[in-house]
Chain A
Amino acid sequence: MMVDPIQVRDLHFSYGKEEVLSGIDLELRHGEVLGILGPNGSGKSTLMGIICGIRKDWNGLVKIMGEDLHSLSVRKLARIVSYIPQSFEPSFDLKVETIVSFGRNPHLRRLGNLTNEDYMVIDDSMRLTEVYEFKDRSFSTLSGGEKQRVIIAKALAQEGKILLMDEFTTHLDPGHARRVGKIATDLVRAKGLSAVAIFHDINQAVEISDRLLFINNGRVIASGEVWDVVTPEIIRQVYGLKSKIMENPISGLPLVVFYD
C-alpha cells in the first residue's frame, strides 16, 4: 500500500477576517491526475498555494508524501512538488534554457553551480516538451503555447513526484490548449507522477483528469470519478447553472452543455 502523495484534512485559511477555505479534505492518489473545479474566488488557487508552500498561516493537516507540510523546508518541498502557474512573466529578458534551469535550484548544493548531470536533466526536459530547438531564444519572444511548454520543462527539470498545475492552458487557443494539456498528462503517466490540476473548462477537466473535486465557497461540494460527480445537480450547486450531461461520442466521457 503506497502512501497518498497528498493528504489534506480539515484545511482552513483566511485572508484577514474572510475565511477562504473552510475545512477542505482531499487526497491525491499515486499516479492519478486530480482535477479541481470551482467558480472564481472559490479558493482553488489558495489551496494550491498552500500545497506548494507559497501561502502560510493555514490550519489543519497537510501531508506531502506522508510528511507534515510544516516540517518540510522550502528547498525540500521544492524537490517533491513542481508548480506550473497560469502565466509566468519574468521582469527581464531571460533565455529559455535559463528558465528551465530554475527547476534544478532545489537540487543544487548551497553555493554549488549546475553540474553536467543537471544540464542533462535540463536538456532531456526541453526535448520532452519540444522546446529544445529554441533553447537559446529569449522567453519574451515566444508564443503563449511555447511559453507554457517552457514552464512545463522547468517543472520537469525539478524532478518532483507531484505536479501542481494552475489553469495552465487558460490563456491558450483550443489547439494549443489540447497540445500542451496532452504533453503534460503524457508526462505524468510516463514518469509515474501524480498531479493536481485546476481547470476552468469542465470538459477539458473531464478529459484530462482521473478524478474530479468540486469546490465552492471554500468547501468541497463533491469528489470522485467523473461519471459519479459530473451531474446537473452538482454543477448547479457549484456554478449556479443549468446543464445537460451527454456522452461524448468521441471519448465516451461525460460532456457538459450549459443552458439558462
Chain B
Amino acid sequence: MKRIALFAFFSTASVLGMLWLSSFGTVNYSLTEIFGVFFGDSSGPASNIYMNLRLPRLLVAFLIGSGLAVGGNGLQLTLKNPLADPYIIGISAGASFGAVLSLFLRDVGRISLNMDLLAFVFALFSSFLTYAISRRGGRIPITTLVLSGVIVSFLFNAAVTFLVVFAWRNVITLHFWSLGSLSGVTWDDFLKLLPIIVLQYALFTTIRRKMIIMAAGEEHAMTVGVHPERIKFLVFFTVSIVSAIAVSTAGLIGFVGLVIPHMVRLAFGTDSKLNLPATAMFGGVFLVVCDTIARTLFQPTELPIGAVTALVGAPVFIYLLRSREVANDG
C-alpha cells in the first residue's frame, strides 16, 4: 500500500513536473498559458508553437524514454544481466546503421526502402550477433555481453560513418546518428511510436512472470515449464522494433534502459507488480528531463540528448559494474 501511494504521488508529480518543464525554451510559457492551450481558450502563434512543436516533442520524448526503459528491463531479466540495455548491447547501433543505409540507398542508389523496417532488420541482427558472440556453453557472462555489445556497436557506428561521409561528404549529420536529438519531431512521430510502445508494454506485462523466472537461470526455467529460447526471441524481437523506431525518430540515445530499471528495482523491488509501470513512467520522465536540459541549457543551441543521458548513465554503469549484482557472476 505504501508503495502504491508512493507510485501515485511520483506519477502525479511527474505529470505536473513535465508540464512545468515544457514551459521553458526559446519561447517561455507560464503554467496558466499552458493550461490555456490545453483547454482551448488560447490561440495565436504562441499557442501554435506549443501545440505543434513543444507538446509533440514532450510526448515523443516520454514515449521513447518509456520504451527504452521497459525494453532494457526486459533484456536484463531474460539475459540475467543488470547491464543489458539496447544501447550497450549494440541493438541501437544496428538500428542506426539500418536507418542510415535506407537514406544512403535512397540518395545514392535511388532505391527506396522503409527506414523503420531496415532499422529493425539490423537491430534484430545486431542483437543476435552480440548474443552469439557472448554465449559460452549456454551461459552469457555479464562482462562478455557488454564487451560484445561494445564491439558490435563500434562495427555498426564505423559503417555509419563510412556511409555518411561517402554519400554526403560531411560529418554534421553524423552528430544526429551518434548522439541523438529530438528537435523537429512531429505528431506523426508520436502516432507511429504510440502503438509500438503500448504493445511492448502489454507484451512484457503478459510474459513478465516468465521473464522473472528466467532471471533465476535458463536451465531452472526449463524445469518449471518455460521455454527460454521463445521468451528470449520475443524480447529481442520486441526490443529491436522499439529501438529501431526510437533510433529512426531521434537517433542514438543510450543508458535510459540501464539507469531507470536499476533505480526502479531499488525503489520498488524486482518482483513488485509496480516494477513495470514504474519503469515505463520514470523512463518517460527521465527522457523528458534530459531533453529539457538538452533544449535549454545552451539555448538557442541544442545539446545532443545522447550526451545528456550518457552524462547520467555512465556513472550509473560504473557503479553497477562494481556492485554486488554483477560481482556475483563474472
Taking Cβ atoms with an 8 Å cutoff, the residues of A that contact B are: 49, 52-54, 74-79, 81-83, 85, 88-95, 98-99, 102-103, 105-106, 108, 111, 113, 154, 158
Q: List 24 A-B contacts (CB under 8 A).
A: A52-B223, A53-B222, A54-B219, A75-B225, A76-B225, A78-B224, A78-B225, A81-B223, A83-B220, A85-B220, A88-B217, A88-B220, A90-B216, A91-B216, A92-B76, A94-B212, A94-B216, A95-B269, A95-B271, A102-B220, A102-B224, A105-B209, A105-B224, A108-B209
Indicate with 1 or 0, residue by residue over B83-102, a CB within 8 angstroms of chain A CB atoms: 00000000000000000000
Q: Does residue B227 face the partner (Cβ distance < 8 Å to A)?
A: yes
**Closest residue on chain B to residue A82 by CB atoms:** B223
Rounded to whole angstroms, the CA-CA distance of A88 and B328 in the bound complex is 12
Query: Given contacts A89-B329, A92-B265, are A158 and B270 in contact (CB under 8 A)?
Result: no
B218-232 contacts to A (CB < 8 Å): 219-220, 222-227
Alpha-carbon distance A122/B265, docked complex (angstroms):
24
When C-beta atoms are compared, the residue in chain A nearest to B207 turns out to be A111
In the bound complex, how far is the Cα of B265 from the Cα of A78, in angstroms?
29
> With A and B bound together, what is the CA distance between A129 and B226 in angstroms?
25
Chain A residues with Cβ under 8 A from B219's Cβ?
49, 54, 85
Is B206 engaged at the interface, CB distance under 8 Å to the other chain?
A: yes
| B329 cross-chain contacts in A, Cβ below 8 A | 89, 91
Q: Does B107 sit within 8 A of A, measured CB to CB? A: no
Which of B's residues lie within 8 Å of A, judged by CB?
Answer: 76-77, 80-82, 206, 209-210, 212-213, 215-217, 219-220, 222-227, 265, 269-271, 325, 328-329
User: What's the Cα separation between A85 and B225 when bound, in Å?
Assistant: 16
Q: How far is the CB of A111 from chain B (nearest CB, A)?
A: 6
On whether the beta carbons of A94 and B271 are closer than 8 Å, the reply is yes
Is the CB–CB distance between A90 and B223 below 8 Å? no
CB distance from B279 to the nearest CB of A (A): 13
Which residues of chain A are near B271, meaning CB under 8 Å? 94-95, 98
Q: Are A93 and B270 in contact (CB under 8 A)?
A: yes
Q: Which residue of A lies closest to B227 (CB)?
A: A74
6 nearest CB pairs, A to B: A106-B225, A78-B225, A75-B225, A91-B80, A90-B216, A83-B223
Knowing that A92-B82, A105-B213 are A-B contacts, what are 9 other residue pairs whose CB atoms are under 8 Å apart, sorted by A's residue number?
Answer: A52-B222, A52-B223, A78-B223, A91-B328, A92-B325, A94-B216, A95-B271, A99-B216, A106-B225
> A90 contacts B224, CB within 8 Å?
no
Q: CA of A91 to CA of B212 in the docked complex: distance in angstroms? A: 10
Most central of A79, A98, A102, A154 by chain B CB within 10 Å:
A102
A193 to chain B, nearest CB (A): 16
Q: How far is the CA of A49 from the CA of B223 in the complex (A)?
A: 9
- Inside 8 A of A158's CB, which chain B residues have their CB? 224
In the bound complex, CA of A99 to CA of B209 (Å): 11
Contacts of B215 in A (CB 8 A): 90-92, 94
Nearest-neighbour CB distance to chain B for A74, whole angstroms, equals: 5
- Docked Cα-Cα span, A76 to B224, in Å, equals 9
Whole-angstrom distance from the CB of A135 to the nearest CB of chain B?
12
Residues of A with C-beta under 8 A to B328: 89, 91
Query: What residues of A have a CB within 8 angstroms of the CB of B76 in the complex?
Result: 92
What CA separation (Å) do A181 and B270 show in the bound complex?
Answer: 31
